[in-house]
Amino acid sequence: QVQLQESGPGLVKPSQTLSLTCFVSGGSISSGGYYWGWIRQRPGKGLEWIGYSYFSGGTDYNPSLKSRAFISVDASRNQFSLKLSSVTAADTGVFYCARIGEWKYGWYFDLWGRGTLVTVSS
Amino acid sequence: EIVLTQSPGTLSLSPGERVTLSCRASQSVGSNYLAWYQQKPGQAPRLLIYGASNRATGIPDRFSGSGSGTDFTLTISRLEPDDFAVYYCQQSGSSYTFGGGTKVEV
């Protein structure tokens, strides 16, 4: 079955760019029908949607992060990526990649990676 | 942005009890595009309910969702030991936002 796995540095310095990749296995990202997104969970906080991209382009972002977030899909490698610029300690948290699927009533995060902890610290 | 407020923040219950969790939206959720997720410690969230009242694939029928407009409810008819977790609501009627979560603990 389809699985998602995040990878990337666990430690990023303040003001730098956080870069994470999500590898999709068990299915082709370019088969269509899904959006590919990122969610974060800061310590002691709830879930926060960051943004998503379709395999052929087309993105949307949380307005609160829109100026700093960039999501791209590399269909040839069956993966998608997140870049979050100008990070501060407030960006520390667990980052999840997720598939957004269309169910009969709306679009939902129906498959998630295990998550990766990113700490912003000098 | 639609803000989702979940209550209560924490529920202390015993196996076998009936649970009712609330999710209130700051404005009407279009087409009742509301979901519920379960998250256990150290794990990713799992989709339980979509479209306010539809169980996702493989979800036991002790989980049920209801509501419309701005008020939604997740009910667990009889708590199993595996159900102690944090539950989040999420809307996709206007962009995507999550509620703050309700922790169901022993």
Q: Does position A92 have pLDDT exceeding 90, yes or no?
A: yes
Q: Does position B42 have pLDDT exceeding 90, yes or no?
A: no
Nearest CB to A106 within list B46, B92, B98? B92
pLDDT digits (tens, 9 = 90+) for B79-104: 999 999 999 999 999 899 999 999 99
Determine whether the interchain pair A106/B35 forms a contact, defined as Cβ–Cβ distance below 8 Å.
Answer: yes
Query: Which residues lie below 8 Å from residue B82, measured CB to CB, with a gap of 6+?
Result: none
Mean pLDDT on A92-109: 93
Q: Would you call A121 an interface residue with chain B, using a CB distance cutoff of 8 Å?
A: no
pLDDT digits (tens, 9 = 90+) for A26-80: 999 988 889 999 999 998 888 999 999 988 888 999 999 989 999 999 999 999 9
Determine whether the interchain pair A105/B97 forms a contact, defined as Cβ–Cβ distance below 8 Å.
Answer: no
Determine whether the interchain pair B54/A105 forms a contact, defined as Cβ–Cβ distance below 8 Å.
Answer: yes
Cβ under 8 Å to B: A residues 67-96: 96
Mean pLDDT on B47-54: 95
Mean pLDDT on A90-115: 93
Q: Does position B14 have pLDDT exceeding 90, yes or no?
A: yes
How far is the C-alpha of B3 from the C-alpha of B25, rounded, in Å? 6
| Site from A94, A103, A111 to mutate, B interface, most B CB atoms within 10 angstroms | A103
Degrees, nearest 5: CA angle A113-A78-B40: 5
Across chain A, mean pLDDT equals: 94
Six-digit token string for A23: 């590898």
Q: Does position B63 have pLDDT exceeding 90, yes or no?
A: yes
Measured in angstroms, the CA of A54 and the nearest CA of chain B are apart by 15
Nearest CB to B97 within list A49, A105, A106? A49
How far is the C-alpha of A91 from the C-alpha of A114, rounded, in Å? 18
Q: How many alpha carbons fall within 13 Å on the CB side of residue A84?
A: 29
Measured in angstroms, the CA of A60 and the nearest CA of chain B are apart by 9
pLDDT, residue A57, reads: 82
A10 contacts A19 by C-beta, under 8 angstroms: no
Determine whether the interchain pair A112/B46 forms a contact, defined as Cβ–Cβ distance below 8 Å.
Answer: yes
pLDDT, residue B31, reads: 82
